[in-house]
Amino acid sequence: MQFWFGFLVLFCGLSLHRIGPAFKRSNFGKPLILLGFVLIFLPYSELSSIEYDLFIFMADNLPWLFLSSSGTYFVLYGSQIYWENINSVKILGILLLLLSWVYFFAFISKSFDADLSLIIANLFGMLLAIIYLIWLIKFIESRTPKVAESLPLSDSEKKYVTSILKRNLGGNPDED
Quick one: CA dihedral 97, 102, 106, 112, positive or negative?
Answer: positive
Partners of residue 79 on adjacent β-strands: 85
Residue closer to other proteins, measured from CB, 52 or 160? 52
Residue closer to other proteins, measured from CB, 76 or 161? 76
> Using the rule CB under 8 A, which residue among 42, 95, 128, 161 binds other proteins?
128
DSSP of 79-135? B-GGG-B-HHHHHHHHHHHHHHHHHIIIIIGGG--S-HHHHHHHHHHHHHHHHHHHH
> Using the rule CB under 8 A, which residue among 44, 66, 107, 132 binds other proteins?
132
Is residue 1 involved in binding other proteins (CB under 8 A)?
Answer: no
Biggest distance spanned by C-alpha atoms of the chain: 75
Is residue 90 involved in binding other proteins (CB under 8 A)?
Answer: yes
Q: Least CB distance from residue 167 to other proteins, whole Å? A: 23
Q: Least CB distance from residue 163 to other proteins, whole Å? A: 28
> Using the rule CB under 8 A, which residue among 102, 119, 161, 165 binds other proteins?
119
Q: How far from 50 is each of 54, 65, 99, 116, CA to CA, in Å?
A: 6, 22, 31, 19
Q: Least CB distance from residue 173 to other proteins, whole Å? A: 26
Is residue 110 involved in binding other proteins (CB under 8 A)?
Answer: no
